[in-house]
Amino acid sequence: MRLTGQEVAAASRGVWLSMTVPAAITGIGTDSRNFVAGDAFLALRGVAFDGHQHAAMVALKASALIGDVQGSKQWGNLSHTPQLQVNDTLQALGDIAACHRNKLQKTQVVAITGSYGKTTVRSMLAHILEALGLEVASTKENFNNLIGVPKTLLAVKPSADVALIECGISELGEMERLSEVVQPDVAIITGLTHAHGEGLGDFKDIVCEKAKLMKHLLPQGWCLFGVGVAGHFAEASCEVAQTTYHMEDTDAVSWSLDKKRVRLSLANEVYDFDLLLPAKHWAEDMALAATAALKLAGHLNKKWLLKDVAEALATWKAVEGRMRVYPVSPEQNYTLIDDSYNANPASMQAALDTLAALDGYKIAIIGDMLELGEKSVSMHAQLNLQGIDEVIAIGTMMKVLQEKQMNEKIRYFENIKAFQLWLSHQDNFPTSNSTLLIKSSHGMGLHVLAEQLVHRVKHVI
């Protein structure tokens, strides 16, 4: 980013408290621990923290301090650094990001959301576009919320051809705000299911909230909906004024999967390649990403063929924590599939189905799916474990799964510590040459177990 001090004040509706106004602000940091010299420090406020208290640590190397009325009162001894006072710093962060976004005249800004698949589709699409020679800016890690999205936007260079902005929500009202900040040229909705029901309500509420991504879609923009999305929007009476493409359309890329061999097809074009796993959801996501790339080509004055896109996808590798495969090695005698980053009913079942489709002895370590609201009990109880040889179930809600299915192959633990204690006394777990899947919501902490196991491995596919 590069905004003048006056532009930052106008965007955030703030007031400079000092006579000195920065000529330019080239970055905004919110964490004093990894603050970059020359950036402006914006003090966020939360339930258990107050960034204003940490401003003194970075004031000497900051181009400016941005705080709210209450917090900036603490900065009387930091008058050597220009200070901008705003009403709400989280709101200001988004408003400043929106100001920068308006300057991205060359960049196609693509917003991606969905109840599942958004990170995978985003990583696939980024991989395709970079392989085809474009400059791509993209969401890093889990920066997809009201703090992460503005940070992602602020990092987009004006030279970028495409910016892929992942948008994740857990509360009502968040999606409309993200749409207001991002102002997308393109909106992609991967798929819809019951996720974050605790904060978003019933399924209709979830659908309507996701639809608000299009609230600030540019008038000349367009949407791409994954399988079933259009039907859910119609049932919830959510209308989109801009051009909309559906994966059920004849001009969308289709897919088929035979074990690990995926086939992508479009009209008379067909391209086959192998996946690391027999993952149907990967194949479906690849078709969606390929369709998005081909439709973007026209807006970028490019002439790509399905072959070009598919050749790029053939070299794609999963994001860490999302079906990442760590094979048998001298250090470990089993294959690990790390899908521990997060979980909802759709992604959990997709991971279990992928494991079940593999050869050999199959073990699933699964933890609670959080924030499902009133449907949590039934959604845990209904998980299909067919084809899996051994299940380790961890968490309060996974007890429901064990009790409902009364299956001898399910071993239950109240929490990860109880499992680790049991594991410390086991000499033959996991079984030699088995495949081990780890899957749960992030809050369950199973990613810690995955990290412990991954650190024993030197090579990753």
Token output for 158: 């004006």
- Quote the pTM value: 0.92
- Grade residue 195 by pLDDT with cuts at 50, 70 and 90: low
pLDDT digits (tens, 9 = 90+) for 239-282: 888 999 999 999 999 999 999 999 999 999 999 999 999 999 99
pLDDT tens digits along 39-69: 999 999 988 899 999 999 999 999 999 999 9
Instruction: Identify whether the C-beta of residue 323 lies closer than 8 Å to the C-beta of residue 347.
Output: no
What does the DSSP assignment read for 57-93? GTGGG-SEEEEEHHHHGGGGGGTTS-EEEES-HHHHH
Q: Alpha helices of 163-253 — where are they, by DSSP H? A: 174-182, 197-200, 203-211, 229-235
Angstrom distances, CA of residue 385 to CA of 193, 242, 352, 362, 444: 20, 41, 7, 11, 20
Q: What is the per-residue pLDDT across 340-352, written as a single tens digit (0 to 9) for each?
A: 988 999 999 999 9
pLDDT of residue 373: 84
Q: Is 329 helix (H, G, I), strand (E, B) or coil?
A: strand
Residue 2's H or E segment, with its range, is none
- 15 bridge partner residues: 85
Pull the structure tokens for residue 116.
């599942």
Average pLDDT over residues 106-116: 96
Q: What is the per-residue pLDDT across 204-250, written as a single tens digit (0 to 9) for each?
A: 889 999 999 999 999 999 999 999 999 999 999 998 889 999 999 99
Task: Classify domain 104-313 by CATH number.
Answer: 3.40.1190.10
CB 280 within 8 A of CB 353: yes
Q: Locate 86 and state its tokens.
A: 């705003």
Q: Where are the domains of the chain?
A: 5-95, 104-313, 324-454
pLDDT value, residue 457: 45
> CA 87 to CA 67: how far, in whole Å?
8
| pLDDT-based confidence at residue 458 (cuts at 50, 70, 90) | very low
**Equal fold, 104-313 vs 324-454:** no
CATH architecture of 5-95: 3-Layer(aba) Sandwich (3.40)
Rounded to a whole number of angstroms, the CA Rg of the chain reads: 24
Q: Among candidates 100, 121, 102, 97, which has minimal Cα distance to 111?
A: 121
Give residue-wise pLDDT tens across range 4-49: 999 999 999 999 998 889 999 999 999 999 999 999 999 999 888 9
Name the burial class of residue 359, with classes exposed (0-12), middle (13-18) and buried (19+) by CB atoms within 10 angstroms of its CB.
Answer: exposed
Q: What is the DSSP string of 341-399?
A: S---HHHHHHHHHHHHTSSS-EEEEEEPPPS-GGGHHHHHHT---TT-SEEEEESTTHH
At 197 the pLDDT is: 55
Q: Identify the pLDDT of residue 460.
A: 42
Q: Copy the structure tokens of residue 132.
A: 């085809």
Positive or negative, the CA dihedral 95, 100, 102, 104 is negative
Which of 141-145, 247-251, 456-460 shows the highest mean pLDDT? Answer: 247-251
Reduced to 3 DSSP states, what percent helix, strand and coil does the chain have, rounded to the nearest 5? 40, 20, 40
Q: Is the pLDDT of residue 459 over 50?
A: no
Domain 324-454 has CATH 3.40.20.10: no
